[in-house]
Amino acid sequence: MSVIAINPCLNCGACCAYYRISFYWAEAAPELGGTVPPEFTEQLTSTRAAMKGTHGRNPRCVCLAGAVGEPVHCAIYPQRPGACREFEYSWKNGQPNERCDQARAAHGLPPLPGPAPVTPDHPIAPEAA
Ligand code: SF4
Ligand code: SF4
């Protein structure tokens, strides 16, 4: 029986509405090969930009579509900044991510469950005497 892995982020979005999503400004500069649509970003410093909506109180990225904790998606998913690409949900690679847990907790969501303990379908039978 095959098991289809569901990306838990598709029913979460908490980190997109908790952290300031900042990155090197050139990621939003098409003339330099940047892919993030500049209209959804704001310049923070001479070298840093951020996704609009994430800088300040009650952050929420303008590109997050849907309500946190319900079906959500990133409106610019293929063009999202590196900070978003690199952020891993807890247990994606076998390790918890405290920042994922923290963002979820801020929105009243429990941490993602870790891997289930391995239990054999058929306990090993004791050797025949
Ligand atoms: S908080 Fe964790 S589970 Fe939720 S969208 Fe971010 S990485 Fe995914
Ligand atoms: S760009 Fe997309 S993945 Fe990144 S914070 Fe915004 S909604 Fe989330």
Residue 124 pLDDT grade (very low, low, confident, very high; cuts 50, 70, 90):
low
Q: Is 14 in the pocket of ligand 2 (CB under 6 A)?
A: no
What does the pLDDT average to over 99-120?
90
Alpha carbon nearest to ligand 2 atom 8, residue: 16
Task: Over range 97-111, report the average pLDDT.
Answer: 98
Q: What is the pLDDT at residue 29? A: 98
Give residue-wise pLDDT tens across range 50-100: 999 999 999 999 999 999 999 999 999 999 999 999 999 999 999 999 999
Q: Take atom 7 of ligand 2 and give the residue whose Cα is closest.
A: 64
Mutate to test the pocket of ligand 1, among 87, 107, 109 (most ligand atoms within 8 A of CB): 87
**pLDDT (tens digit, 9 = 90+) per residue, 31-54?**
999 999 999 999 999 999 999 999
Four-residue CA torsion sign, 26, 79, 88, 98:
positive
Mean pLDDT (whole number) for 103-120: 89
Q: What is the pLDDT of residue 115?
A: 83
**Amino acid type, 99:** R
Residue 36 CA to ligand 1 center (angstroms) comes to 20
Beta pairing class for 64-65 and 73-74? antiparallel
| Cα of 7 from ligand 1 centre, angstroms | 9
Contacts of 22 (CB under 8 A, 6+ apart): 44, 48, 49, 50, 51, 54, 55, 83
pLDDT at residue 4 in the model: 63
What is residue 92's predicted lDDT score, i.e. its pLDDT?
95
